[in-house]
A = this chain, B = another copy of it.
Amino acid sequence: MNKEERVIMGFRDLLNKMVSLNKFKMKDSLKGYKSSEVHCIEYIGRNVDSNVTKLAESFYVTRGAISKLTKKLIKKGIIESYQKQDNKKEIYFRLTEQGKVINKVHEELHKEFQERDKAVFEQVTEEQFDSMLSFVEKYSRHLDAEIKKLGVDITNPNDFE
């Protein structure tokens, strides 16, 4: 396996491990909530006027999937929807008080993760960060061009190689 593949594979495995750990910890502190639900709550908590489309694009899933998920969260009383006077098409979401509590717990968990990995990131130099970011951005732009050229739809992933 050459270096290119090792880098890509390495990051894939890294992400898998992070997700596994996240799910595991979530079972402790956020019992009863699926990770997809928590991510949705997190996004709505961070972004005013979230709607189905924005959530779908951000999570790389279909609008249909988000539509069902938000309906579930509304039924559970974690989020609520609202509209604006001048727009009868778009439906926005915000957290209820209950939702804010869950979001708070999740934020604490995030801090815990950062603390956990601090030791690793402290060893990374600015140059290393910039080098990685420049690679990511360059590669990303390259793929964007390809995606555009072929007219590919980027609404589905969540499985890797």
Interface size class of A (residues with CB under 8 A): 35 or more
CA distance A135 to B43 in the complex (A): 28
In the assembled complex, which residues on chain B have CB atoms less than 8 Å from the CB atom of A35?
A: 159
Give the segment of A5-13, A69-77, A81-89, A97-105 that binds chain B: A5-13
A115-161 with Cβ < 8 A to chain B: 116-117, 119-121, 123-124, 127-129, 131-133, 135-140, 142-144, 146-147, 150, 152-154, 156-161
The reply to whether A20 and B159 form a contact with Cβ atoms under 8 Å apart is no
State whether the Cβ of A48 lies closer than 8 Å to any Cβ in chain B. no
Q: How often does this chain occur in the complex, in copies? A: 2
Q: Which residues of B contact A22 (CB under 8 A)?
A: 161
Q: Of all chain B residues, which has the CB nearest A61?
A: B159
Are A116 and B146 also in contact (CB < 8 A) when A17-B154, A20-B154, A35-B159 are? yes
Contacts A11-B11, A128-B131, A147-B17 given; indicate if A4 touches B121 (C-beta within 8 A).
Answer: yes
Q: A: which residues have CB within 8 A of B?
A: 3-4, 6-8, 10-24, 35-36, 39, 60, 114, 116-117, 119-121, 123-124, 127-129, 131-133, 135-140, 142-144, 146-147, 150, 152-154, 156-161
